[in-house]
Structure 1
């Protein structure tokens, strides 16, 4: 499954009703969850017992692959965040819609890959211990390049801040293009220049 070793394969369906009961979801949460999610299956378990070449670490001792069959492609991300918080394990979510898959992990926030044909979707296990393997999976899913001197968490925060500044610049550039007053145009131009300096 997704290129993981056969030794990691498990087959365990998680009935939605059991999740609703165990975690006492309210009617609104149940309705939203049910509108998006058709079926949940734990399909792989990665640990030193199932992949002897990697060792356990202090932070990550194991992780699961959960296949989530979706009823619609435009799902509510809050439902996946909810799942990741309810189940206190490291989990790679393989969200499947028809013949496509999107990989999702939670690390300070929800991190997702692009949609790909399911038969082309792979999860690479690289690293000597589970901390390194898990970090590399997060980087792979989010296509994150960690700059020298930064931790993965710091890089995610930096990338998020950069995306916010870039969005601000685009908004201001649209306003600049339609603004008629010269004074306002200068203000927008200066604001854009300062934000671009922040990025560099």
Structure 2
């Protein structure tokens, strides 16, 4: 038998699902935490915690805050996510999974981002001109389950944890909403199982 608190919790979950839009669920993406709260404010973290798939435009109170980098990983900070750094080598095929409860047609890409400059390194690993088209009865399977191949980078590039991130970027053209999820990683020499280098 359901208790009142259980029903309230289920209702809250349903509301979050109904109003959700999309994000990356695998590999583990950056989550908000104390470092994001310090940079962007507690209301921003509360907004993302209430709806993990919310667009940048709905992150409360963070717009115009100089130290809050909403256009990098939707403001989520590496310092809050050091325990989930992935290790990849050139040529590794990485399966990525997304949830898109409310589609918004528009372009999408996954790129490696230099976090110091917030610039893409090389070409996108995958890109769609048309993604999450809400006019379709069923979305293509590759909108929510797709793979990217890690490129050969310059020597020493992306070998330090926090230096680079793999960012999923999606813009809903009609909705005018921007979505980002980031997977932190380090590049390892092929066949090297060593631990990632800690940030300086």
TM-score tier after normalising by the smaller chain length: under 0.3
TM-score of the two chains, using structure 2 as the length reference: 0.23
Larger RCO of the pair (alpha carbons < 8 Å, separation 6+): 2
Structure number with greater Rg is: 1
TM-score normalised by the chain length of structure 1: 0.23
| Structure with greater proportional helix content | 1
Q: Which has the higher strand share?
A: 2
